[in-house]
Structure 1
Amino acid sequence: MRPFKYSTTNDINVAVKMLQVKGHAKLLGGGTNILDLMKEDVEHPEELIDITGLSYTQIKSISSGPNAEGISIGALCKNTDTANDPIIRQNFPLVAQAILAGASAQIRNMATNGGNLNQRTRCSYFYDIAMPCNKREPGAGCAAIEGINKMHAIFGWSKDCVAVHPSDLCVALVALDAIVKVMGAGGKERLIQFSDYHRLPGTDPQKDNNLQQEEIITEIQLPKNNFASKSYYLKVRDRSSYAFALVSVAAAIEMAGNQIKQVRIAMGGVSHKPWRAYEAEQFLINKTPDEANFNLAAELEMRNAKPLKHNKFKVELGIRTMVRALTQAMNGGKHT
């Protein structure tokens, strides 16, 4: 690990200003990702700004504005506290399920929600500084395209990057139309739709999201919905714990009689950003929630996949995972 300066502040305006004037500074929350990256010499910030003293740790109801009756989750609230919060478990169980599917209990106890959104890919070529990686060093090339790419993208990749976003929580958040609230220079706040927060790689794979250098996430807003009783997060991985998804699916359904009124489907492990399955969703509106329709929806979504040499299995796995997640969502999240 290279030498770095450590600073701390309890004032978000000071933290924003520090990021603004120090282009090579990084924020320190739970530290579960940035410190690993520094140890591997993937990231080498000149300064770490400890923001654990900021006040954005609460989970509370939103009383006014466009998301009134929704929930605000503090960016510095720990993953464990979020998953175990009674309001989250009752009204947004998909969020709790996704968090509990990720990492280990020890990491969830340290990791923050804001840090979860901004964590970097776990692509093995990104972590291996001896290998070319456009995300780590723009213009170097992408070793994963011709390398072992079992864990890599099948949607939205480019010739410059085929890495996938590692988060489970983010898959649930994009399915639930979450909103990210950030603060920038001069105390200016803005709201970012979760579907617009993360980026596809394009020609700039080093940019994971649309956050500006000086901006800091303060909260994640969850609009009120009617999905709580029929939602499920399903993660398929090589081993049952502490492993990243081969494919994951967040599914949520609202019924009107015997037909689907609304449905939300998002996938993890398949793209540079959490992947919203819009085609599958559109197909299922006003359909009966049976296995045949679930299969047709999944096949419709997966027909646009562009697998690489070693991850063609993700197409069929994606279909089966989506069908199973939708089925279990209809059963109230219970296994059948």
Structure 2
Amino acid sequence: MTRVPAPPSPSTSAAAVARALAQLDGVILGKPGQVRLSLACLLAGGHLLIEDQPGVGKTTLAHALSRTLGLSFRRVQFTADLLPADLLGMSIWDAAGGVFRYQPGPIFSEVLLADEINRATPRTQSALLEAMEERQVSEGGVTRPLPDPFFVIATQNPAAFVGTSPLPEAQLDRFLMSVTLGYPDARAERTLLETGGRGDVVRELPAALDPDTLRSARREVDAVYAAPPLLDYLQVLARATRDHPALDLGLSPRALLGLLAAARAWAYLAGRTMVLPEDVQAVFPGVAGHRLPVRGGVASDVLARLLAETPIP
């Protein structure tokens, strides 16, 4: 009789990530899919965009993530009068020393919450581009590295709301994934009514991870195996987006790399060491939705049909 080998025991990092996921599910009620996508995005080393109307828990999710990850956290409320220097910092003249001294801005934190990012002007929005892509800030001819890890979690109101400036495609592409929370189900909403919200719960959350454990988990995510047929499937999906009549743009090579990283993180959260096609399908809407402008129709419907019609090699 052939003995089937037992699956490997989860590492210390994987066990900590599992505890973090369970803790987040206990705070963000009725949204397990969005919570898992958000954690997968951060494990993949990406930045997260949370899109929805005010009052459905976008900021609560961002706060809960930062508390659970055990990272330093700064929140910046984006408004029309916010300047790039308010975010990045500036050099201030020190009269006593006779020199300019750099005063770091709130971007020098491990988790930056850019709240209502599309209420700021395009000039301030673009100040994030270098930081999100290169993990550094250039000011006054000097380049300064950002902390490691460095995550941007941005919330965004619907474009139809008054006082919003749409994020340009280059800015949207810096976000690995986007999620939409939507209204809570009846059971979760009743719990909110009975408990008075989740603010106090979030403030008391213990850290389930620390920076060293998070970096270890990210290395394990990078090591999740993607077989050649899986890479074939990714390329078939990319070609399908580029040829689809309802899409103005297709997935770029950078977006395709992001899709693979997110699929690896999703597989890791499932306790596997190999990426499966269903991992790609699970994260595809979150990775592609904000990158692919739809010409008529609803984006989620177009992406769902594209996944259904694309064969798995």
- TM-score norm. by structure 1 comes to 0.23
Q: Which structure has the higher relative contact order (CA within 8 Å, separation 6+)?
A: 2
**Larger % of helix: which?**
2
- TM-score norm. by structure 2 comes to 0.24
